[in-house]
Amino acid sequence: MAASNEEEATQKFKEAVQNAFDDLSPTTAKFIMELSSCRQQDKKGSSSKRTPYGIFQTNSFQLEKNLGYGGIFLTIARMNHSCRPNAIHYWRP
């Protein structure tokens, strides 16, 4: 069922990311949780725990233009990158 507003859509997306994470092997899940997360601050600016959603938001790459599919690639996620990128990536399914 489609979300009726942005908040509901975000919550559904967080749940989808968590479900995908829960399906990973323990070894892969451990490596994923070692990646950086841009979502490690709560609304008051305090540090909070690292989550699969925050790690996905920080490290995922869009796989299908305009369809919202994305993925995390452990080796690529470890590359030094910037909010002002000077390189592009291209996905060939």
Q: What is the pLDDT of residues 57-88, one digit of tens each?
A: 888 888 777 666 788 988 888 876 666 666 77
| pTM attached to this predicted model | 0.73
Average pLDDT of every residue of the chain = 82
Of 45, 44, 49, which is closest to residue 33 (Cα–Cα)? 49
Count other Cβ atoms within 10 Å, centred on residue 52. 21
Predicted confidence at residue 20, as pLDDT, reads: 95
Q: Is the pLDDT of residue 89 over 70?
A: no
For residue range 45-57, what is the model confidence (pLDDT) as tens digits? 556 788 999 999 8
Classified as helix, coil or strand, 70 is strand
